Structure 1
Amino acid sequence: MGLFKKKGGTQVSFHTTSTIRPALAVLRVLDLQECLRFYQEVIGLKVLSETEESAELGVESNEPLLRLVQLQGGEERKETAGLYHVAFLVPSRENLADVFMHLLTTGYPLQGASHHEVSEAVYLSDPEGNGIEIYADTPSENWVWRNGQVQMTTKALNAENLLSQKTKSKWEGLPSGTVIGHIHLSVNNLEKAEAFYSALGFQTVSQYADAALFLSHGGYHHHIGINIWNSEGASPAGKKSSGLDYLSIFYPSEKNRREAIYALEELGIALEERKDGIFASDHSGITVQLIIEEKDEENGNI
């Protein structure tokens, strides 16, 4: 399952099983039921599984995009490193128009709506302040690349033009094919964060002043964003703080994952093998899970 863009008569994939990409965001929340209502009614995700303490949501029955975990005795996240936003990528501009119309109809407050040359996006946050972007890519053949860097700008979204593309009178939730397009993180040291996410297998493809970097795999405009806009020198969020618990990074094969593990070890990053996978944390205390879809028989397990 994935999204495709036409380029030069061939299919170029940015979010399939051949791409290193963010696949799941796990959030610690203070009020599970309130957040569940929001992600279903406002965002349009579906509950795939649920217990008293957690829930998984997505649009496809076999691929959760978001996991919410009830935080017992926790506290609201302060000005710390962690999630800036999780970005849900819809398959088409028409899908984004339907989402935008729905959000306007609900009256839920938006925090922005932008055109970035490579994408069009709307921004909001959940009831506990976790940032959310919902976006659609522009055609990849129109992206401007110079010396390995993609041109991204921020200008106002042409809302009237976008809404002219809406297709549905009744909201039915986020469409099939929606994926986590990228994860944007607030980090406390840009240079150390760049080294960490580069070791995971992403390449820096864009820079915004001296405060934000964007990294990708396979020629995408970005799978990972990192910034120090409000978090330079900030302390890592503790496990009793609401917000991002960890994010899962998908690897096409055990070989790809092993390369990332070796690169992390070269940086002196400690790895933890748990029953549900291999985990590592960056300098800002942001934890990632390194996952593969299935065992690579040639290379075996770590």
Structure 2
Amino acid sequence: MTAKHSAQAGGVTRRQAVKLAAAAGIVAAGGLALPPLFREPLRSEVFVAKAADYGADLAGILRRGLAELGVTPQELAGRRVLLKPNLVEPHAGAGHINTHPLVLRAAAEAFLALGAASVVVGEGAGHRRDAYLVLEESGLEDVLAQDKLRFFDLNNGPVTLVGNRGGVSKLGDLWLPQLLARVDLVVSVAKMKVHHWAGVTLSMKNLFGVMPGVVYGWPKNALHFAGIEESILDINATVRPGFAIVDGIVGMEGDGPIMGDPVAAGVLVLGRNPVAVDATCCRIMGIDPRRIDYLKRADGTLGTIAARAIAQRGEDPATVRRDFALLDFVPAQQGIRLGR
């Protein structure tokens, strides 16, 4: 199967999909039932694994992590899974900007091996309007073609209005892609990066990419105007991703999420609760999650950030800690360093 035919939306070619989406426009409000929550444990568990490079057995690592977290074939049998990567601003050869394609491949293999009925990939890139240029430059298109995984451009296509379950920002109700109603499990497959406005961008911030550009603009300006931290909380409360995987094999430090420098953290981090996953990632990055505004506000409502309330599986975050470089002149990165 060619790359062109693998990146389809709704069974049509990629260019047809964009045209049809534009013609469809925004559909009437209502009718979108959010996917049921993945089985939520009484306490949060997060799995941390070492991965020296992208040539490691990533699918095996993820399968081991899923098993450690108690994910069973019975739980995933027949489920339709959406993998949501971070493709913010692809540049060929700059693997520290976006979720690596081999992490997406490994995630798809792991969920299918556990009995998922289907796995698709969806993203609404933050800056580029041409989703398929994004796929080509990021290297993801080849992986999608080889593995016959369907891609959905979340920036375009039918959307519908749903109630804002967070109610923190000034956004009011949220327009979401109708695709979310056709999957059972949303998995945020994020990149481990610092951020010049939010402090860090991990699995929770990654959900900006489900918000359609045809409504919220490029680079999702309406969400910025409504407050980045507040929008993160509202989107996560409404979409309720059921799982998070963070690619920290090579992350980004300094002027993230685009202009920063690569840093080899050598880890994959995963769990059912994005808040706990992101708090663990912060500790690995040498950042105090209590000093990240949206994580502090999510604590006790969307999840937990307290180390004592997170059962760590796999590696101890302290043993794989790699302090990411922070910029003194960036307000969001000031005073967030985790003490030793």
| TM norm structure 1 | 0.30
The structure richer in strand per residue is 1
